[in-house]
A and B are shown apart, each in its own frame.
Chain A
Amino acid sequence: MHLEDGQVPEEYRRYTGRKTAFVAGGFVLLFVIFVFSISIGAVRIPPAAVVRILLGGSTSGGWEIIIRNIRLPQALTAVVAGIGLGVSGAVMQSILRNPLGSPFTLGISQAAAFGAALSVMILGGGTMRSSVTDAVVVSNPYLTTGVAFAFSLVGVGVILLITRIRRSSPEVMVLAGIAMGSLFTAGTMFLQYFADDVQLAAMVFWTFGDTARASWKEFFFITVVVALALVYFMFNRWNYNAIDAGDETANGLGVVVKRVRIYGMLVASVTTAVIVSFLGIIGFVGLVCPHIVRRIIGDDHRYLIPGTSVMGGILLLTADTVARVILAPNVLPVAILTSFLGAPVFIYLLVRGYKR
């Protein structure tokens, strides 16, 4: 077949240009929200001063310490966690062929919560501590994080094992995930039933996802994992587009669907497990964020992956900022806000339908 007379159509250039502009605009918006987020709080810092300090300059107000030690790690963690949760959700929806697909559908958060509860009850224990921001603190956060992460991996491992025994169909993955989720929920309830009130408070408190738990060390760890996942997902963007076109078609295009599906699930799950283990359960971002972006720019993973990344960052950072100031001086865990903010936006988009 001789196909030498084609040109890149001008309308198509404009069309992809609009998608690129959406992603680029998202980054600009994210930066604006970022500066704004750092500037507000108990001590108000003018945005101009924030930018100056971020660029390495100094100001007369002594704000550097507040920014470097408190606000900057929290804001950055919110952005990176939002990116990780959003992009993992987008990939899971595609490889599980399910609009409700997300690492949470596979029982990751339930497994992590069980691990945390087990750690509080048997290994570490929670203590009550009265402070302005937190009513309860988990006394041994690293142990709790480690156990929570280990149990989310156990959950993922069992699902992988089941999919290996059966063929790796998305239905088997989703149903196995739901089964694992309810199993771990039952386990958590069992522990909670026998826990004393201090332990119970610590268990429940752990599940409230909160970006303030991360210091620089946790932030760097989460960032490395999210960055690697993002590179991996971008590398597979055409494979995900192919899977969207149906397994048969993807196979015919030379894509090893089984392998792409299992590795994709593994990377998305581990990324989510890391974030959840450090910060607690932050729901809705992984589910709603890809859908918001899909409704604006469509299902093409070349744009969907960067688009959901930036949207995830925006959503979680905005929620985090509002959570810090809405009931000041009380600080809400961000997990409460993500749903409060995300759900109305999502319902609005559902009602309005797709945008061209």
Chain B
Amino acid sequence: MILKLQDVTFSYKSDTVLDDVTFEVHDGELVAVLGPNGVGKTTLLRCINAILKPQRGSVLIDGEDLRHLHGKEVAKRIGYVAQKGESSRLTAFDAILLGRKPHIRWNVSKHDLEIVDAVIKRLGLEHLMLRYIDEMSGGEFQKVCIARALVQEPKILLLDEPTASLDLKNQLDILGFVKHVVSGHGITGLMAVHDLNTALRYSDRFLFMKSGKILSYGTINDVTPGMIEEVYGVKVMLEECKGHPVVIPVE
């Protein structure tokens, strides 16, 4: 299973946000999309799941061009955890069940409910099942959003800053959780993140973006202090601490 982007170019009016973006991701891999605010990380994710239509280039899943698929069919292949989810007075079970939307015709089937239950069990969310999502903490709510994307039975999971506004414990929880889901179930994961240290710790590959272009795409070995300085404009040291790479700003 391969996700492949070929020459993807997207602009808002005259402002080019993505410029000839080409890369591919294999299943079981978690890719961190890194870059400063406004560089086009969210636009990249939206182009991948066809919310935005690139002016040029194509997004292929296993060789299948997403431009030829209906929105519902895209949603059966790609799960999307948006940056800002809204809560309402739904139980976690019903909120997760919403992820079956692309598969539902008129009414939910027993099979839909069973999949929700299976995902809840996998993620250990049984205790939250009948809690209302508007009464949950940020971490609990984020887990429900990820669970919702998983019941879509996607091949690809896109996450837009899944750890924004979470405390340290929840950041580690959520990313560990995403990592586990991606590598354990053969899903392709792509997440936009800001925190370099958590990204370095949990991701398999790193995609650095600058001015709408890919500056570098590779494994941890390709991440250098020079690269980080070029992208963020901040001098850093890249040290290893108890086996984990750590970025320390030195300015």
Q: Is B58 an interface residue (CB 8 A)?
A: no
Q: Is B98 an interface residue (CB 8 A)?
A: yes
Inter-subunit contact A8/B113 (CB<8 Å):
yes
Instruction: Give 1 or 0 for each of A238-254: 1 = CB within 8 Å of chain B CB.
Output: 10011011101101111
Residues of A within 8 A of B121 (CB): 5-6
Segment 110-141 of B: residues with Cβ below 8 Å from A? 110, 113-119, 121-122, 129-130, 132
Residues of A within 8 A of B206 (CB): none
For the complex, would chain A's binding face be called helix, strand, loop or mixed by DSSP majority? loop
Residues of A within 8 A of B151 (CB): 3
Inter-subunit contact A354/B153 (CB<8 Å):
no
Segment 96-153 of A: residues with Cβ below 8 Å from B? 97
Residues of B within 8 A of A354 (CB): 89, 132
B92 to chain A, nearest CB (A): 10
Q: How far is the CA of A312 from the CA of B144 in the complex (A)?
A: 33
Q: Is A11 an interface residue (CB 8 A)?
A: yes
Interface residue stretch chosen among A82-90, A218-226, A292-300, A317-325: A292-300
Inter-subunit contact B98/A241 (CB<8 Å):
yes
Q: How far is the CA of A231 from the CA of B9 in the complex (A)?
A: 42
Q: Is A9 an interface residue (CB 8 A)?
A: yes
Inter-subunit contact A294/B130 (CB<8 Å):
no
Looking at the complex, which one of B98, B114, B119, B185 makes contact with A242 (CB distance below 8 Å)? B98
Q: How far is the CA of A238 from the CA of B75 in the complex (A)?
A: 14
Residues of B within 8 A of A298 (CB): 89-91, 132
Inter-subunit contact A6/B102 (CB<8 Å):
no
**Known contacts A242-B98, A242-B101, A254-B74: A3-B153 contact under CB 8 Å:** yes
Question: Chain A: which residue is nearest B94 at the CB level?
Answer: A300
Instruction: Give 1 or 0 for each of A162-185: 1 = CB within 8 Å of chain B CB.
Output: 000000000000000000000000
Q: How far is the CA of A6 from the CA of B117 in the complex (A)?
A: 5
B residues lining the A interface (CB < 8 Å): 49, 51, 70-75, 78-80, 82-86, 88-91, 93-95, 98-99, 101-102, 104, 110, 113-119, 121-122, 129-130, 132, 145, 148-153, 158, 160, 185-187
* A-B contacts besides A3-B118, A3-B153, A4-B118, 14 pairs, CB < 8 Å: A6-B118, A9-B117, A12-B93, A241-B98, A244-B88, A249-B86, A253-B75, A253-B152, A254-B72, A254-B74, A254-B101, A294-B89, A298-B91, A354-B89
A residues lining the B interface (CB < 8 Å): 1-9, 11-12, 15, 97, 238, 241-242, 244-246, 248-249, 251-256, 294, 298-300, 354
